[in-house]
Chain A
């Protein structure tokens, strides 16, 4: 069965620090990969997605993610976080089932 694992449950950073959130998935076939963000009190929003092509994907608000097939990973990065990046971040995968499967989420707290 497909599954997604996010390594960090809760991350606290100061503004301007660099961010990397880990994500690993378990499915050996072709996958589509996503990162979603949920700001406090708001709905899930798509940050970025990978379907094929360049494994380095750029998303909104300065976020990027790198698909490393050999490591089954799709880590999210941002060079310099802002207080407004405080939110919950979810990695997700679609494999052969067509269903979007989510990781358990990482809560990011950015201190001003």
Chain B
């Protein structure tokens, strides 16, 4: 497609439930990023892939968070045993190049609410 697609748009999870959030980047974009945006805050970096390699996962808040991109295109962010503090919008972005000149294109995000 023309843009970055994320699904689902909205997810309500009971505390303790596992969730999986999907990101379809722009075709041909080698770099893929996940961000977490809490209410009233700027997006916070979670993790970064270049093709299928996860080059940076320093922003993942705990070992309950796991991301993968096995074939270098679609990525999944998994959160195990969700907690209320996980409630946020999860943004995915893709880029031709990670820094200079590539630019990032963001998806619409998945709004996760943990009840």
A residues lining the B interface (CB < 8 Å): 4, 6, 32, 36, 42-46, 49, 51, 90, 92, 94, 97-105
Contacts and interface: CB of A to CB of B under 8 A. Distances in A.
Interface of B: 33, 35, 40-45, 48, 56, 91, 93, 98-101, 103-104, 106-109
A51 B101 contact: yes
A82 to B, nearest CB: 23
A98 B43 contact: no
A97 to B, nearest CB: 8
B99 A32 contact: yes
Q: Is the interface of A mostly helix, strand, loop or mixed?
A: strand
B45 A44 contact: no
B99 A94 contact: yes
B45 A104 contact: no
B44 A102 contact: yes
Determine the main DSSP class of B at the interface with A: loop
Contact of A105 (B42, B56, B104, B108): B42
Contacts of A46: 103-104
A100 B104 contact: yes
A105 B99 contact: no
B109 A43 contact: yes
A1 B48 CA distance: 17
Contacts of B43: 44, 90, 102
A51 B100 CA distance: 7
A40 to B, nearest CB: 12
Contacts of B100: 32, 51, 94
Nearest to B45: A99
Nearest to B101: A51
B60 to A, nearest CB: 13
B107 A43 contact: yes
28 contacts: A32-B99, A36-B106, A42-B108, A43-B106, A43-B107, A43-B108, A43-B109, A44-B43, A44-B91, A45-B106, A46-B103, A46-B104, A51-B100, A90-B43, A97-B56, A98-B48, A98-B98, A99-B33, A99-B48, A99-B56, A100-B33, A100-B93, A101-B45, A102-B42, A102-B43, A102-B44, A104-B40, A104-B41
